């Protein structure tokens, strides 16, 4: 197990370096750089100063080597957009995204898996309706879902129409501040959770349907096991394997932040930060966000593997063997 | 000229027509069909049998009069700063912005949010009223100018203190001028405060008197000082001395360290979320009733990057105002919100900035391009001007909310707009005739004109991705020009990439909206002069590439130095005429500007310049608490 964990950590490190280095080099090589943010009429001296500050006056390889050396000391450089160290920015944004991701994942799991068990084991109008809604949730682009939810929130005022805290949060106690954040979570969490819940439902339904036709379940039926126990205690556990396989990816994707959802709902997370950085060609912020996203993806993948190992002994043997 | 809007400095009052939106839409296509335009947009109907009764008629008349009175009282708060009106005090306004501030030091940051923070927390010696464009005393309560227009003596107000209690003196003004021109400071304000190629010079006769000297006469005169926020010497002198002024007051600075003379002080900046400002208890301005300004206790600016989400929040009442005008596609939903009584919709008048279309005409770069032979002919660009029906263009691109224009100065800039500028009536025949005159005909019958050597008039036009009016505009231009045999292919790019291509002249044509730095042409010399960095079609020429550019250079230098308003007007008309004849940049329509804010906000005096409402933040108040 220790060897397995060590291998995975090495993989995580490789992923972080590869993803962030690629992001840095692609941002550098793409047309336009951060100096265009100074506007079309910035003086040549101002442009030169900015290029020097962000090492854009060096060759791409030299800039990358310099950045990598600094990043190994957890110095990811400065952001042009925010005019402050990237490390501070990605730390705060990652925490916000993590809070959002945990809630979204919990919602997706609690909605998607029970519905998948239901549609995978039943026939009829109710199951068909759930399948239809799932397909709809999968088909609608996140931009539309987010805007629709913001629209609903703004019309009904059931929950805040964006942001992470209220304007009065400044004077709140810690407990009241947490309650305020909780009030702002449903909108972006739902926008993130809906397509993932639909994915879980589809996978769980298919897997459950296959599991119910396994010989050992036919034997259980012959032994007189109650239908409820048959599904919950026997079929479900077997059917979890495909869910666990995508669970890690879902965690990674959620923790990396959703560009669209965070942007539209004004959630100050990693996805929005990355989007703004990309638009401004804020090279070190792009690389820092990519590094954090890569780290989260690797951790998500690790969690998925561990869950799979817990659910299926064959997978456990394959991983540790 | 620059990418961010800034000062406005015409010669005389030019109050744009700011009127309630309801009247405007009677004549616009945005009028909701089948609805009468009463408040709330509902049809008024009265049963004829009751109306016939004199008693009911009398009651109805009384009701109508009372209703009118109520409506009047409900709409009057917009002008609620009159001395007799009881302006509500306290409370907070929640506005939205779409980008983070780059710095709290306006001397080194030119972005709109940094400028807004500076407007809220700092003050200038003089201020240009952004509604009337009149110059008004601000930190300087009076001034005298010498006959040659080079020396200006300003008298500071007595008793003004910084937000930390330190008195304002002439030393602060001298320090601010020194900081702008310090070689170690990458100041973004220096070019605006340079006259005749030399920095302005400041000297102090006593703690309340400052003398500003220009190296040459300047038409705008003291108006230039509207672009200089005064900074506290006692806080920043050491940073200037040790060469770290550019890093001072970065966004990570604890708010308590930032002191100012503006109506608000920064309370907190939460990156990605909001900026919170509290009332400056030592603010020096007073309301007409003698009490201290500002009226508000707090101002919050929520950071909402997406414009759709920003408007939804405004409609829902989550925010009270935004920092940008409405897009044409937003008018109808906002009108509905106005009918519900939550939003006040205002027409600001015709905007001062217009979308522009130009080709790269830099001979050093384009000389080997076979198309340059006809591209550099003014007849070619005149043909384009004839090919575009500007009325139809305004209808399609701006959904009717625009007026046709023939030059860079729009009717929104009334003091400098010249309505008799040379025009190019829409005529495909005339356009084809002009093209034939320079040897361009459709010789191979493929619908695109070519010269005798077979070089087709086919171009790629760059525009900004995701900006609705620009993308619609390029599509309309493509269709209009196709009729006369000029082929356009559209390449929408991100702003950064588009600007880089523009600076390197790595493009055929560009269609985008440059923003004027100043409404006074003397403040936009970088556009007019051939050596200017904003001389789009051929940036930074060592010597004028064309004779007409040389003439513009000569006239503009005289225009900017003249102290005679009439002479300046005449010279600028000549310049506009030369530009209209040679058309290095083509303009088609200037959009009408609309602004929306919550009805709970009182005292808004909207401006066509950004920020539309918060330039006057000290006089804003709210009718009800959140």
Q: Find the range with the poorest average confidence among A133-142, A172-181, B5-14, B190-199.
A: B5-14
Instruction: Give the CA angle between residues B99, B103, B107 to the nearest 5°.
Output: 120
- Closest-CA residue in chain B for A167? B300
Q: How far apart are CA B26 and CA A52, in angstroms?
A: 56
Is the pLDDT assigned to residue B26 strictly greater than 70? no
pLDDT higher at A281 or B45: A281
Distance from CA of B309 to the nearest CA of A (A): 6
Percent with pLDDT over 90 in chain A: 22
Q: Is A118 near chain B, with CB under 8 Å?
A: no
Strands across the sheet with B201-206, in order? B140-145, B151-156, B209-213, B201-206
Where does the pLDDT of residue B37 fall: very low under 50, low under 70, confident under 90, or very high at 90 and above?
A: very low
Question: What pLDDT, on a 0 to 100 scale, did the predictor assign at position B31?
Answer: 24
Residue A261 near residue A191 (C-beta atoms within 8 A): yes
Task: Choose from A228-232, B129-133, B546-550, B620-624 the range with maximum mean pLDDT.
Answer: B546-550
Residues of B in contact with A82 (CB under 8 A): 100, 102, 251, 271
pLDDT higher at B189 or B74: B189
Q: Is A151 near chain B, with CB under 8 Å?
A: yes
List CB contacts of A201: < 8 A, sequence separation 6 or more: A111, A112, A113, A115, A116, A119, A130, A131, A134
Phi-psi region of B118 (alpha: psi -120 to 50; beta: other; left: phi over 0): alpha
Percent with pLDDT over 90 in chain B: 60
For A149-163, the pLDDT digits (tens) are 888 887 787 888 788
Instruction: Give the CA angle between residues B541, B552, B530 to the nearest 5°.
Output: 10
Domains and CATH numbers, chain A: 86-320 (1.10.3720.10)
Residues of B in contact with A38 (CB under 8 A): 110
Distance from CA of B116 to the nearest CA of A (A): 16
Partner-chain contact B501 A154, CB within 8 Å:
no
Indicate the residue of B4, B92, B500 with minimum beta-carbon distance to A32.
Answer: B500
The owner of tokens 């709290």 is B104
Question: What pLDDT, on a 0 to 100 scale, did the predictor assign at position B267?
Answer: 95
For B409-424, the pLDDT digits (tens) are 999 998 899 999 999 9
pLDDT higher at A6 or B595: B595
Distance from CA of A266 to the nearest CA of B (A): 5
Residues of B in contact with A89 (CB under 8 A): 271
Question: What pLDDT, on a 0 to 100 scale, did the predictor assign at position B42?
Answer: 28
List CB contacts of B528: < 8 A, sequence separation 6 or more: B521, B535, B552, B553, B556, B575
Percent with pLDDT over 70 in chain A: 94
Where does the pLDDT of residue B67 fall: very low under 50, low under 70, confident under 90, or very high at 90 and above?
A: very low
With a cut of 0.85, is the ipTM above it? no
Average pLDDT, stretch B570-592?
96
Residue B480 near residue B472 (C-beta atoms within 8 A): no
Mutate to test the interface with B, among A85, A147, A167 (most CBs of B within 10 A): A167
Residues of B in contact with A45 (CB under 8 A): 186
Partner-chain contact B272 A45, CB within 8 Å:
no
Partner-chain contact B272 A268, CB within 8 Å:
yes
Distance from CA of B306 to the nearest CA of A (A): 6
Distance from CA of A158 to the nearest CA of B (A): 11
Partner-chain contact A93 B514, CB within 8 Å:
no
- The average confidence (pLDDT) of chain B is 85
Residue B201 near residue B145 (C-beta atoms within 8 A): no
Residue B40 near residue B341 (C-beta atoms within 8 A): yes
Where does the pLDDT of residue A313 fall: very low under 50, low under 70, confident under 90, or very high at 90 and above?
A: low
Where does the pLDDT of residue B318 fall: very low under 50, low under 70, confident under 90, or very high at 90 and above?
A: confident
For B339-350, the pLDDT digits (tens) are 988 899 998 889
Average pLDDT, stretch B353-362?
94
List CB contacts of B489: < 8 A, sequence separation 6 or more: B458, B459, B460, B461, B478
- Closest-CA residue in chain B for A84? B252
Residue B594 near residue B63 (C-beta atoms within 8 A): no
Decide: helix, strand or coil at residue B573.
Answer: helix
Q: How far apart are CA A76 and CA A288, in angstroms?
A: 6
Question: What pLDDT, on a 0 to 100 scale, did the predictor assign at position B324?
Answer: 86
Q: Is A91 near chain B, with CB under 8 Å?
A: no
pTM score: 0.76
For B106-139, the pLDDT digits (tens) are 998 888 899 999 999 999 999 999 888 889 999 9
Partner-chain contact B316 A161, CB within 8 Å:
yes
For A16-38, the pLDDT digits (tens) are 899 999 999 999 988 778 887 77
Chain centroid, CA B427 distance in Å? 33
Q: How far apart are CA A59 and CA A80, in angstroms?
A: 19
Distance from CA of B147 to the nearest CA of A (A): 34
């Amino acid at each position: 197990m220790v060897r397995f964990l060590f291998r995975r950590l090495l993989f995580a490190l490789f992923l972080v370096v590869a993803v962030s280095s690629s992001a840095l080099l692609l941002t550098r090589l793409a047309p336009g750089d951060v100096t265009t943010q100074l506007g079309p009429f910035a003086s040549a001296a101002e442009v030169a100063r900015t290029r020097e500050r962000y090492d854009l006056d060096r060759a791409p390889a030299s800039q990358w080597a310099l950045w990598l050396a600094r990043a190994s000391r957890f110095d990811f450089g400065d952001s042009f957009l925010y005019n402050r160290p990237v490390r501070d920015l990605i730390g705060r944004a990652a925490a916000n995204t993590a809070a959002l991701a945990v809630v979204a994942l919990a919602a997706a799991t609690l909605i998607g898996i029970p519905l998948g068990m239901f549609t995978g084991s039943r026939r009829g109008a109710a199951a068909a309706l759930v399948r239809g809604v799932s397909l709809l949730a999968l088909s609608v682009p996140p931009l539309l879902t987010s805007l629709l939810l913001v629209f609903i929130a703004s019309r009904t005022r059931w929950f805040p129409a964006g942001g992470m805290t209220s304007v009065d949060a400044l004077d709140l106690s810690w407990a009241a501040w947490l309650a305020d954040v909780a009030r702002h979570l449903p909108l972006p969490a739902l926008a993130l959770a809906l397509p993932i819940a639909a994915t879980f439902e589809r996978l769980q339904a298919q897997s459950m349907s296959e599991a119910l036709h396994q010989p050992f379940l036919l034997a259980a039926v012959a032994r007189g096991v109650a239908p409820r126990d048959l599904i919950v205690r026997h079929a479900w556990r077997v059917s979890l394997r495909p869910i666990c396989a995508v669970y890690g990816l879902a965690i990674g994707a959620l923790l990396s932040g959703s560009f669209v959802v965070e942007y539209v709902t004004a959630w100050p997370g990693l996805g929005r930060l990355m989007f703004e950085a990309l638009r401004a060609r804020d090279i070190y912020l792009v690389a820092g966000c990519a590094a954090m996203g890569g780290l989260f993806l690797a951790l998500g993948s690790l969690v998925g593997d561990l869950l799979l190992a817990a659910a299926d002994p064959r997978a456990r043997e394959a991983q540790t063997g | 000229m620059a990418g961010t809007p800034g000062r406005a400095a015409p010669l005389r009052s030019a109050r744009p027509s700011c009127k309630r939106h309801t009247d405007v839409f009677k004549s616009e296509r945005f009028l909701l069909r089948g609805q009468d335009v009463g408040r709330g947009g509902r049809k008024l109907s009265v049963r004829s049998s009751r109306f016939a009764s004199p008693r009911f008629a009398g009651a109805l008349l009384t009701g109508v009069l009372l209703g009118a009175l109520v409506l009047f009282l409900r709409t009057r708060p917009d002008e609620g700063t009159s001395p007799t009106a009881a302006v509500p005090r306290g409370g907070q306004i929640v506005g939205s912005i779409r980008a983070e501030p780059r710095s709290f030091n306006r001397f080194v940051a030119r972005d709109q949010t940094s400028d807004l923070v500076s407007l809220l927390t700092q003050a200038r010696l003089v201020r240009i009223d952004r509604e009337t464009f009149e110059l008004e005393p601000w930190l300087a309560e009076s001034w005298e100018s010498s006959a040659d227009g080079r020396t200006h003596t300003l008298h500071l107000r007595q008793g003004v203190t910084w937000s930390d209690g330190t008195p304002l003196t002439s030393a602060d003004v001298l320090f601010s001028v020194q900081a702008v021109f310090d070689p170690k400071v990458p100041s973004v304000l220096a070019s605006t405060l340079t006259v005749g190629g030399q920095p302005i010079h400041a000297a102090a006769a006593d703690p309340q008197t400052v003398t500003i000297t220009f190296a040459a006469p300047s038409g705008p005169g003291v108006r230039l000082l509207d672009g200089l926020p005064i900074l506290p010497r006692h806080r920043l002198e050491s940073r200037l001395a040790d060469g770290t002024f550019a890093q001072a007051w970065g966004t990570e600075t604890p708010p308590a360290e930032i002191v100012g003379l503006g109506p608000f002080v920064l309370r907190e900046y939460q990156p990605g979320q909001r900026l919170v400002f509290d009332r400056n208890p030592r603010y020096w301005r007073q309301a007409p009733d003698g009490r201290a300004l500002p009226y508000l206790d707090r101002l919050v600016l929520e950071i909402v990057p997406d414009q759709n989400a920003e408007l939804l929040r405004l409609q829902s009442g989550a925010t009270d105002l935004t920092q940008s005008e409405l897009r044409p596609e937003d008018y109808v939903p906002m009108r509905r919100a106005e009918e519900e009584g939550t939003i006040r919709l205002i027409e600001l008048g015709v905007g001062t900035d217009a979308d522009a279309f130009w080709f790269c005409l830099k001979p050093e770069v384009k000389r080997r391009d076979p198309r340059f032979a006809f591209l550099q002919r003014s007849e070619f660009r005149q043909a384009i001007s004839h090919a575009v029906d500007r009325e139809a263009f305004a209808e399609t691109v701006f959904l009717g909310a625009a007026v046709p224009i023939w030059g860079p100065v729009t009717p929104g800039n009334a003091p400098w707009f010249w309505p008799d500028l040379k025009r190019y009536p829409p005529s495909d025949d005339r356009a084809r005739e002009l093209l034939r005159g320079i040897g361009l005909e459709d010789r191979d019958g493929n619908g695109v004109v070519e010269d005798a050597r077979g070089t087709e008039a086919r171009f790629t036009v760059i525009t900004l991705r995701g900006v609705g009016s620009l993308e619609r505009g390029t599509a309309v231009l493509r269709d209009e020009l196709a009729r006369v045999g000029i082929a356009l292919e559209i390449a929408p790019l991100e702003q950064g990439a588009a600007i880089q291509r523009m600076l390197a002249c790595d493009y055929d044509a560009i269609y985008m909206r440059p923003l004027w730095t100043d409404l006074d042409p003397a403040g936009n010399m970088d556009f007019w002069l051939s050596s200017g960095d904003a001389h789009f079609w051929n940036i930074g020429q060592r010597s004028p590439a064309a004779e007409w550019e040389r003439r513009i250079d000569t006239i503009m230098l005289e225009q900017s130095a003249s102290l005679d308003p009439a002479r300046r007007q005449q010279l600028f008309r000549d310049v506009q005429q030369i530009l209209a004849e040679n058309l290095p940049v083509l303009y088609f329509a200037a959009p009408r500007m609309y602004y929306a804010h919550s009805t709970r906000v009182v005292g808004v005096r909207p401006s066509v310049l950004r920020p539309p409402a918060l330039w006057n933040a000290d006089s804003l108040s709210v009718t009800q608490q959140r």
